[in-house]
Structure 1
Amino acid sequence: MGRNIRKRRSPLAVKVVAASAAIALGGGGLLWAQMNASAHESNDAAQNYTKAAAATVATIACPDVGQKLTNVPANAKQGVATELANLDKQITEAYARLASTRQAQANDANFVQNAIVGPLKEKRSATIDRIRIDITRVGGTFDSSLAQLAACTTQSVNQTTAGQGGGQNNGGQNNGGQNNNGNNGQASAAPSASASAPANIGGQAGNGPVAADFVDITKVAANVQGKPQNGAQASTGSFTTRCGVNANKNHNTDNVIVAPGVTNGAHHEHDYVGNQKVNAFSTNNSLLAAPSSCQNQSDLSAYYWPVVREQDGSQEFDANALGGGKEGNVGKIITPVQAQIKYVGSPASKVVAMPQFLRIITGDAKTTTNGLANANAHWSCTGFENKVQLTQQYPICPKGSQVVRTFAFQSCWDGVNIDSANHRTHVAFADPASGVCPNGFKAIPQLTMRLVYNLAQPSIVNGQVKNAYAVDGFPEQLHKAATDHDDFISVTKNNLAAKIANCVNTGRKCQ
């Protein structure tokens, strides 16, 4: 589209040092590498393994085909979405094989390429070709260069530690003082992976997080800059909708936006508030007919995000299920103690009402292998939110402080589409310095969320993290903080969308 509209993030977003990774996901269940070398144990049991395999492959990195699809005909969308979900499933299966064959890898330097990466490329080639057929048979145009995205690579532990820092400025996206290498505010106290550290020690399930994924927030320099000044046409009001914290434990591992009709399309658990009947098979009509957890019953919007878990050894309800324990998402699911959902205005202009069924995804669940171009995670602690926001690490909060996740969604809409083929190009972030939307886009009320958690305080002992917590994610993404993301479908009744816009435009605080 000629603009970096997909890559801009809110002014809060600041990246801190990239985290290191560790994995092991066994076939049919979970295996800790080198027989239980977990993040809650000493390094001693894994020392011999580490010396023999210091450069062990940490994860599989595959090009994200879905992000390259910008024009899919309506009649092909369901077929394409199904095939994209198949690509995710193939990566998950390959990652499981990678993690369960460590001895074979140690014995044969070509094992990963011959037995895992090579066969994965063949499967992906066939799937991408089916996407081509789905698009072209209804008259669409397929970019033949996408066939080159079939090949995957592998990342070592050190690559997942340091391979994401460079070149994330993205044409002026220097949000809140972020410098070009993405490490402004890096805390020197944060441990990092090295060739002498065990390659597979991260987390209760063996696929993260690791010590370098955490940082003492009191040791991070302030990195939050001010917001743009309000102009003469600024829309300064707000609308707060109260929808609860998912105390009723409404969870599933679907994602109807990116994988409609595909069970377990997300490969991780979500919390749902607002609309209470959201799953892979939801339709616009079923969303309109569903109950809502919101106090304002005209708000039927779907608000959902990956759950946070304490990796305390607990066996949750999904310990033996896909999307849960079978895919490396383990530990006790923690319900937020607060969930504030608020729509705010633009510093540069009035806003137009959100269209019915508008879909927005903010952040990227695959930053460990995609890179940080679309990352939009914000982690902080109560008492620090106006000073420090983290993207690439989880905060260790001081005693009496709570962990805070904040989301600031795209606030510019193309005025036509309620979704796009890659679920990004129909919306955009405003310029972080001026608040102005890109050419051709209109300002809409900006959806913001603030989730607060009571979590056990992590600590780093002998290079390992105790009391670790992490967001759910795709297993090969290693539970990195930067993979945090949020999903939204706007569904309203009784002219609520217009009322929200009116409150924002007239400077009122409504709820």
Structure 2
Amino acid sequence: MMRQAHKRSQLKNRAVVSAAALLLGGGGTAIIAANASAGPDGAGHRSGGAARTAAEGSATTAPTVVCPDVGDRLREVPAPVRTEVSQSLSQLDAQVARAYERMATRGDTPAAVLAELKDKRAETIGRITDALGTAAGGSAPAAEEQAGLPALAGCSTRQVSTAAADDSSSALNSTLGARGKPGGPSRADFADIRTAPARSGPPAARPGASTGTFASVCGRNENGHFNPDNVIVTPGVRNGAHHLHDYVGNKSTDAFSTDNSLAGAGTTCTNGDKSSHYWPVLRVLDGKAAPDANAPGGGHDGNMGTVLRPASVTLQFKGSPVTKVTAMPRFLRIITGDAKALTNGVANANASWSCEGFENRQLKDKYPICPDGADVVRTFAFQSCWDGRNTDSANHRTHVAFARGDGSCPRGFRAVPQLVQRITYDVPAGTAFAVDSFPEQLHKPVTDHGDFINVMSDDLMRKATGCINGGRTC
């Protein structure tokens, strides 16, 4: 188990909270400075020294804001209005974050917050429908989609459990306290990896399976490529992710990347693979003010704590247990997992958490507590079935699919190499940790996600598929 954290002065804690308060007054999106507002010794010190009431201390839930995911409902976004729609989707995210901040840290009444939020969302969704209508020229499918979007303006609140986990780890007691901090995570979000059930193995390979593997060695982001953009979901929008991303592979990826710019950029991969791999950073909740404490994607968006650099990154492509794989198209975009799984539900959640030496045990909705000396392992196993036509889709999901339980692809899809991103972290003793997230998602482990853009050359992709289909390790 992790050891007791060293204490920090309350004065430094208050300084971080004060900086956050200044940003709020200046129009910051949503700052949840809770990670800096309580000592890592778990004593529950708050800014200004005010103690929680007994009722607050015994509470086991906290509210968050739940809104329909407009982006997930889109089925077609014509290229001429893609940037305009992206900007509106990012504005919707910012509106939800501000509403959550008003309730979580200012104590505004939910009814008033939700009424104002609905008005703002209705206006923004109206801009999306207008843009789609103009681009589609009044086609019937576009009109049907537009008609359903205004109904997505209304939001609600949900009480999320902050109850203590069964595990009574002294480290979680010291860094999170019995309830955790406002904005998450709580002790209930952690579990001893040794208590997780062992998982069953993959389907047995059939005759004609593709059993090889192909790896790209792309480093651990030693060059410090970070930004809060997401060129897949919100192209053309700075801070479109509202959380910080860690990148390996393509050196140029940001909000304004295009297929041509990605193809012309350099790469950190040793085999010349220019693909872009990125995921939300992991932060230790050590109460320290990170360099981005006042920056977009960092403290400005409720992401506090020190960014952890990966100890290792493995990028491996695997085959299908039932058939040969076909080459991925160049510039194929895939997102796995759901950054809004807390409020959207877990249908698209797909992150796995474990510890080195225990990877036959995987956690989906908990962060792992690892035995001494074992690194935390974070794994994204991407969709391995492609529709054979599209390199992306309006909601960034429907052009790809997961294989069925027996390893076969759904009807209309074909098997492609399956990307598995495996990232390990040497988490410092005495600290809890969490992924960056949208503020209202409370840094829950189930919201973790990975992103990939295939920028392999055609020759390199042929080599990869040849290795996989030939049963070789490359």
Q: TM-score category by the smaller chain?
A: 0.7 to 0.9
Equivalent residue letter for 2:42: E
Give, in angstroms, the shift of residue 313 of structure 1. Answer: 2.1
- Once the 2 structures are TM-superposed, how far is the Cα of residue 146 of structure 1 from its aligned partner? 2.2
The one of 462, 465, 473 aligned to 1:501: 465
SS at match of 1:495: helix
Aligned to 1:212: 188
Give the direction of change, closer, same or farther, for the CA distance of 1:53–1:71 in structure 2 (3 Å limit). farther
The answer to whether residue 80 in structure 2 is matched with residue 113 in structure 1 is no
The amino acid of 1:496's aligned partner reads L
Paired position in structure 2 for 1:280: 255
Return the alpha-carbon distance in structure 2 between the equivalents of residues 199 and 91 of structure 1.
27
Name the % identity.
50
Q: Shift of residue 218 of structure 1?
A: 1.8
Match of 1:304 among 278, 281, 285: 278
Q: TM-score, normalised by structure 2?
A: 0.86
Q: 2-side partners of 1:217 and 1:360: how far apart?
A: 29
The DSSP-based 3-state class of the residue aligned with 2:391 is: coil
Distance 1:294 1:34, change over 3 A: closer
- Assess if the C-alpha contact under 8 Å between 1:39 and 1:210 holds in 2: no
**What do the CA deviations read for 1:53-74 (whole angstroms, capped 9, x no partner)?**
9487521111101111122333
1:71 lines up with 2:76 in the alignment: yes
CA distance in structure 2 between the partners assigned to 1:51 and 1:78 by the alignment: 44
Match of 2:419 in 1: 447
1:376 aligns with 2:342: no
Structure 2 match to 1:424: 397
74 and 351 in structure 1: CA distance in 2 versus 1, 3 angstrom threshold: same
Give CA deviations for 1:99-126 in whole Å, capped at 9, x if unaligned: 3312xx4xxxxx2211x11111001111
The CA distance in 2 between the partners of 1:37 and 1:188, in whole Å, is: 22
Give the Cα–Cα distance (whole angstroms) in 2 for the partners of residues 508 and 455 of structure 1: 34
Find the aligned partners of 1:32 and 1:234 in 2 and give their Cα distance: 51
1:337 counterpart = 2:311: yes
Tell me, what secondary structure is at the counterpart of 1:119?
A: helix
- Whether contact under 8 Å (1:274, 1:300) holds in the other structure is yes
Is the CA contact (8 Å cut-off) linking 1:53 and 1:199 kept in structure 2? no
Secondary structure of 1:259's counterpart equals coil
Task: Tell me the equivalent position of 2:6.
Answer: none
Paired amino acid for 2:95: Q
In structure 1, how many angstroms separate the alpha carbons of the residues matched to 2:166 and 2:178?
23
Which letter maps to 2:155?
A: C
Deviates more, 1:51-60 or 1:373-382: 51-60
- Going by fraction, where is helix more abundant, 1 or 2? 2
The amino acid of 1:211's aligned partner reads R
Partner of residue 125 from structure 2, selected from 128, 141, 158: 128
* Pick aligned residue for 2:442 from 447, 467, 478: 478
Structure 1 runs of 4+ with >6 Å offset: none
Q: Give structure 2 stretches of 5+ with no counterpart.
A: 1-16, 170-175
Q: C-alpha distance in 2, partners of 1:380/1:370? A: 24
Change (3 A) 1:494 1:413: closer
Cα contact 1:362–1:487 (8 A) shared by 2: yes
* Whole-angstrom distance in 1 between the partners of 2:196 and 2:57: 35
Indicate whether 1:41 and 2:11 are aligned.
no
Matched residue of 2:53: which SS?
Answer: helix
CA RMSD of superposed structures (Å)? 2.6
Residues 494, 410 of structure 1: alpha-carbon distance in 2 compared, 3 angstrom cutoff: closer
Cα offsets for 1:462-491 (capped at 9, x unmatched):
xxxxx1101111111111011110000000
Tell me the residue number matched to 1:240.
215
Measured at CA, do residues 49 and 288 of structure 1 come closer, stay the same or move farther in structure 2, by a change above 3 Å? farther
Work out whether residues 121 and 150 of structure 1, in 8 Å CA contact, stay in contact via their aligned partners in 2: yes
Instruction: Confirm or deny: 8 A CA contact 2:129 2:149 kept in the other structure.
Output: no
Match of 1:390 in 2: 363
Matched-pair contact (CA < 8 Å) for 2:382–2:420: yes
Q: Which amino acid aligns with 2:180?
A: G
Question: Which of residues 310, 322, 336 in structure 1 aligns to 2:296?
Answer: 322
Contact persistence 1:269–1:323 (CA under 8 A): yes
What TM-score results when the alignment is normalised by the length of structure 1? 0.80
- Per-residue CA deviation, residues 383-435 of structure 1 (Å, 9 max, x unaligned), is 1101x100111000001211000110000000000000000000000002x10
The equivalent of 2:14 in structure 1 is: none
Q: What is the rounded CA distance, in whole Å, between the counterparts of 2:54 and 2:270 in structure 1?
A: 55
Q: What secondary structure sits across from 2:351 in the alignment?
A: coil
| Structure 1 position 497, deviation (Å) | 1.2
1:334 alignment partner AA: L
2:201 pairs with 220, 223, 226, which one? 226
User: Does the CA contact (< 8 Å) of 2:35 and 2:285 recur in 1?
Assistant: no
CA distance in 1, matches of 2:236, 2:365: 32
Offset of 1:128 from its aligned partner? 1.1
Among candidates 384, 406, 413, match of residue 411 of structure 1 = 384
- Distance in 2, matches of 1:69 and 1:81, equals 11
Aligned twin of 2:148: 145
1:59 equivalent in alignment to 2:64: yes
Output the amino acid matched with 1:247: E
Asked if structure 2 preserves the Cα contact closer than 8 Å seen for 1:276 and 1:293, the reply is: yes
1:168-200 CA deviation, whole Å, 9 max, x = no partner? xxxxxxxxxxxxxxxxxxx85479xxxxxx999
Q: For structure 1, list consecutive stretches of 5 or more residues without a partner in the other structure.
A: 1-23, 106-110, 163-186, 192-197, 459-466
